[in-house]
Amino acid sequence: MGCVKLVFFILYTFLCQLVFSSALPHLCPEDQAHALLQFKHMFTFNPNASDDCYDTRTLSWSMSTDCCSWDRVLCDETTGQVIELDLYCSGLQGKFYSNSSLFQLSNLKRLDLSRNDFSGSLISPKFGELSSLTHLDLSHSGFTGVIPAEISHLNKLYFLYISTVDPYGLRLGPYNFELLLKNLTQLREIYLDSVNISSIIPLNFSSYLTYLWLRRTQLRGVLPERVFHLSYLSLSSNSLNGPIPSNVSGPQNLQRLYLSSNYLNGTIPSWIFSLPSLSDLYLRNNSFSGKIHEFKSKTLLYVSLKQNQLQGPIPKSLLDQQELYYLILSQNNLSGQIASTVCNLKTLRVLDLGSNHLNGTIPHCLGEMSGLKVLDLNNNRLSGTINTTFNTENQLRIINLYGNKLKGKVPPSLINCRYLEFLDLGNNELNDTFPSWLGGLPYLRILSLRSNKLHGPIKDSRTNNSFAQIRVIDLSSNGFSGKLPVSLFENFQAMKIIGENSGTREYIVDDYSSSYANTLIVTTKGLDLELPRVLTTNIIINLSRNRFEGYLPSIIGDLVGLRSLNLSHNGLEGIIPASLQHLSVLESLDLSSNKIGGEIPQQLVSLTSLEVLNLSHNQFVGCIPQGKQFDTFDNSSYLGNDGLCGFPLSKDCGGDDGVPQATTPVELDDEEEEEGDLISWQAVLMGFGCGLVIGLSIIYIMLSTHYPIWFSRMVVRFDNIIAARMKRHKKRY
């Protein structure tokens, strides 16, 4: 038994020594721990510093523990030196100085400072002294100024990421860019975004390079053949011109190709459609022409060829991609019909075929695509009824069928699109009554039914939450009749909040912001405008060019978030309710071509955001309010109102010394008017009697004294006095 204990003791001692000896090298040197803490204390911690990403793990750093055990820190297993520091999205905020203690960590191999807020800080040349670096990420942290040439001394770099959220807030001259690529012979990936390079694409980059991202870098010139042998190429938003080389041989590795927003032209070469591993193809916003060839691969995930001059039908091979997420072919000259095989794209999220020359009917099966979130077929030549049956499993958020030749009714199955935010069926030939049942869609924010053949009254809604989230409603140029829908206005809860309180975030989900922009045609400020992005602050009501009658309801004054209100070209009457003075952010008000009368409320002068006012062709009377925005409107705002006076009209409203009055005269009731008339006639008769006595006396004096010259002068003077008084009397009454 004693032997066993002895053996156990020896073994235990050996193991403890082994563990202790192996742990010793892992202890972080004290100077490096101090350097890390000093670096951390140079900054404040702001949870909103960058993109709302924030990790608090660096707050736990303390000298009471070994720095090699700290979160975001990695040490060498043998020496204990800090070799990796990952501060991605750590909420650091403040100036990054050249004498930062960070540069004492001379053995760093990986350094990630991305997604913090060092706004206005320069990139220190001392980064070039961290000679062991293989990974350096300074992206999206607010660095500015010139990227120092010393970065090119980091000849062990595999990955270099530098960018800024401020377009061209960083500069790297053509010489430094060439030097960078020449010296960094080990580079695998280079990411420079919004960095001003102002250069052609150098050809002396590393033979190891597989990833080249030079978006918004002011590159110019033509595309060299060599760049297409990479696996990831992004040169979007530059000034590249000419065609894509047609004689590129053997680019078997290219998987992602981004050349959008340049000045490229010609046809898309056939070798691109034959790439065996191509997943992303973004060529939008160029001048490519010709047909889209059939794709040989079946690995496509994202295809965006919008805003070019491409012709012909949609290739069948595009509708045979089993993993395709985005298919964006809008703003081209594509023709033919939409094949029903498009519904085989089970993973499709965005289908944008708008602004082409497509004809035929809308495939019935589109409403059965459970993954589809964006359906945009606007501005084509599609005809027939919308016979698509939207099932309850769909996830559609955007449906845009604007500008086709669609007939029939608004499909009732739209009520199954419970996530729908944007619905535009405008500029078609739909013949139906108002689909009030659409108010049951809880997230619907944009509804446009303009320019159809919709008709009848807009009946009261019995649901309190009906259209509660609506921010834009456009029912213009239809045949709606009856009174304005007061109950509908009462339900517009989102319009009862001024937009700044809810921010200016684009209402559509950010997932599509980089590849798809939902456009909306609205009539505001007297113009038909295309909104490429609809913000939460775009709060618009347009019920113009219908047959509405009755009075303007005062409830409109509760919709304080309104930016544009257009009720023109109807049969409205009555007066403008003073409650409109509460629309403090209203920018455009159009009530033209109605039968609205009375005076323009003086309270509207308080609408200091008002840029466009159109009250023409109504029955307004009295003085036009003066001051603030009303001093900026011209005659066109008031044409066809014969009873109006005051600036800017040439018709004077009267008042002392000919100055227009800001307030209108007080109206008299019938009894007061009769009493006033009686007093006036009494004054006239008294004046006539007195005048007769004075006149006879003057004649007697004239005949007695023989002073005709004196008499004639007196007569002229009396005549002038009487004429002036009669003129003022006429203006007053």
**Residue 23: which pLDDT band, with cuts at 50, 70 and 90?**
very low
Write the pLDDT tens digit of every residue in 234-243: 999 999 999 9
What does the pLDDT average to over 173-178? 79
> How confident is the model at residue 678, as a pLDDT?
38
Last residue of a domain, one of 610, 631, 658: 658
Mean pLDDT is lowest, of 238-242, 269-273, 297-301, 525-529, for: 525-529
Return the bridge partners of 135, or none: 110, 159
Claim to verify: residue 698 and residue 650 sit in the same structural domain: no
Instruction: Give the tokens for residue 232.
Output: 């990831």
CA 86 to chain centre: 34
**Residue 20: which pLDDT band, with cuts at 50, 70 and 90?**
very low
Cα 403 to Cα 430: distance, rounded to the nearest angstrom? 11
**Domain range for residue 504?**
472-658
Residue 276: CB partners within 8 Å, gap ≥ 6? 252, 296, 297, 299
Is residue 708 included in any domain, yes or no? Answer: yes
Claim to verify: residue 542 and residue 684 sit in the same structural domain: no
Residue 632: CB partners within 8 Å, gap ≥ 6? none
pLDDT reading at 574 higher than 60: yes
Q: Give the SS3 label for residue 298.
A: coil
Asked if 143 contacts 164 with a C-beta cutoff of 8 angstroms, the reply is yes
Claim to verify: residue 571 and residue 638 sit in the same structural domain: yes
Claim to verify: residue 563 and residue 653 sit in the same structural domain: yes
Asked if 535 contacts 564 with a C-beta cutoff of 8 angstroms, the reply is no
Instruction: Give the tokens for residue 334.
Output: 């594509």
Cα 38 to Cα 406: distance, rounded to the nearest angstrom? 68
Asked if 550 contacts 483 with a C-beta cutoff of 8 angstroms, the reply is yes
> How confident is the model at residue 169, as a pLDDT?
82
Claim to verify: residue 631 and residue 706 sit in the same structural domain: no
pLDDT reading at 99 higher than 60: yes
Query: What is the CA angle 266-270-275, rounded to 5?
Result: 125
Asked if 222 contacts 265 with a C-beta cutoff of 8 angstroms, the reply is no
Is residue 113 included in any domain, yes or no? Answer: no
What does the pLDDT average to over 655-675? 38
DSSP letters for 106-141? TT-SEEE--SSB-TTPBPPGGGGG-TT-SEEEETTS
Between the alpha carbon of residue 718 and those of residues 246, 328, 686, 712, the distances in Å are 99, 86, 17, 10
**Residue 619: which pLDDT band, with cuts at 50, 70 and 90?**
very high
Is residue 537 included in any domain, yes or no? Answer: yes
Write the pLDDT tens digit of every residue in 53-76: 667 777 888 888 899 999 899 999
Is residue 256 included in any domain, yes or no? Answer: no
pLDDT reading at 671 higher than 70: no
Between the alpha carbon of residue 164 and those of residues 7, 168, 473, 715, the distances in Å are 64, 8, 38, 88
> How confident is the model at residue 499, as a pLDDT?
60
Last residue of a domain, one of 658, 681, 700: 658
Q: Give the SS3 label for residue 158.
A: coil
Between the alpha carbon of residue 141 and those of residues 92, 104, 112, 242, 282, the distances in Å are 9, 21, 11, 35, 27
192-195: Cβ within 8 A, 24+ apart: 192/160, 192/162, 192/163, 192/217, 193/139, 193/162, 193/163, 193/164, 193/217, 194/163, 194/164, 194/165, 194/166, 194/167, 194/168, 194/169, 194/170, 195/147, 195/162, 195/163, 195/164, 195/168, 195/170, 195/171
> How confident is the model at residue 48, as a pLDDT?
57
Residue 283: CB partners within 8 Å, gap ≥ 6? 257, 259, 260, 264, 268, 304, 305, 308
Q: How many CB atoms lie within 10 A of CB 164?
A: 22
Number of domains in the chain: 2
CATH code for the domain of 561: 3.80.10.10
Claim to verify: residue 626 and residue 696 sit in the same structural domain: no
> How confident is the model at residue 387, as a pLDDT?
87
pLDDT reading at 509 higher than 50: no
Claim to verify: residue 649 and residue 698 sit in the same structural domain: no
> How confident is the model at residue 536, as a pLDDT?
67
Q: Give the SS3 label for residue 713.
A: helix
Q: Which of 2-6, 247-251, 682-686 has the highest mean pLDDT?
A: 247-251
pLDDT reading at 176 higher than 70: yes
What does the pLDDT average to over 564-585? 96
What does the pLDDT average to over 280-294? 96
> How confident is the model at residue 19, as a pLDDT?
43
What does the pLDDT average to over 353-364? 96
Claim to verify: residue 645 and residue 700 sit in the same structural domain: no
Asked if 301 contacts 325 with a C-beta cutoff of 8 angstroms, the reply is yes
Asked if 625 contacts 602 with a C-beta cutoff of 8 angstroms, the reply is yes
Return the bridge partners of 141, or none: none
Asked if 73 contacts 85 with a C-beta cutoff of 8 angstroms, the reply is yes
Is residue 238 included in any domain, yes or no? Answer: no
Peptide bond into 648 cis (omega under 30): yes
**Residue at 725: amino acid letter:** R
pLDDT reading at 664 higher than 70: no
Claim to verify: residue 578 and residue 621 sit in the same structural domain: yes
Q: Please give the sequence-ordered ranges of beta strands (E in DSSP) within 363-441, or none if there are none.
A: 374-376, 381-385, 398-400, 405-408, 422-424, 429-430
Element holding 289 (H helix, E strand): strand 287-291
Q: Give the SS3 label for residue 385.
A: strand
Q: How many CB atoms lie within 10 A of CB 729?
A: 10
Is residue 125 included in any domain, yes or no? Answer: no
Cα 307 to Cα 270: distance, rounded to the nearest angstrom? 20
Nearest to 237 by CA among 179, 181, 196, 203: 196
Nearest to 283 by CA among 275, 274, 272: 272
> How confident is the model at residue 255, as a pLDDT?
96
Cα 444 to Cα 114: distance, rounded to the nearest angstrom? 37
- SS3 letters for 606-650? HCCCCCEEECCCCEEEEECCCCHHHHCCCHHHCCCCCEEECCCCC
Is residue 495 included in any domain, yes or no? Answer: yes
DSSP letters for 516-543? ----EEEEETTEEEEESS-BTT--EEE-
Mean pLDDT is lowest, of 4-8, 424-428, 660-664, for: 660-664
Claim to verify: residue 675 and residue 642 sit in the same structural domain: no
Claim to verify: residue 521 and residue 635 sit in the same structural domain: yes
Asked if 193 contacts 212 with a C-beta cutoff of 8 angstroms, the reply is no
Residue 696: CB partners within 8 Å, gap ≥ 6? none
Q: Which residue has the higher pLDDT, 240 or 712?
A: 240
Q: How many CB atoms lie within 10 A of CB 3?
A: 7
**Residue 180: which pLDDT band, with cuts at 50, 70 and 90?**
confident
H helices of 518-605, where? none
Between the alpha carbon of residue 698 and those of residues 350, 416, 688, 690, 704, the distances in Å are 99, 97, 15, 12, 10
Write the pLDDT tens digit of every residue in 181-225: 888 999 999 999 999 998 888 888 888 999 999 999 999 999 999
Nearest to 404 by CA among 452, 454, 448, 455: 452
Return the bridge partners of 242, or none: 264
Claim to verify: residue 644 and residue 682 sit in the same structural domain: no
> How confident is the model at residue 26, as a pLDDT?
57
Q: Which of 142-146, 182-186, 256-260, 514-518 has the highest mean pLDDT?
A: 256-260
> Look-up: residue for tokens 């496509």?
300
Q: Which residue has the higher pLDDT, 175 or 140?
A: 140
Q: Which residue has the higher pLDDT, 523 or 372?
A: 372
Is residue 157 included in any domain, yes or no? Answer: no
pLDDT reading at 325 higher than 80: yes
Last residue of a domain, one of 615, 637, 658: 658
Instruction: Give the tokens for residue 92.
Output: 């650091």
Residue 721: CB partners within 8 Å, gap ≥ 6? none
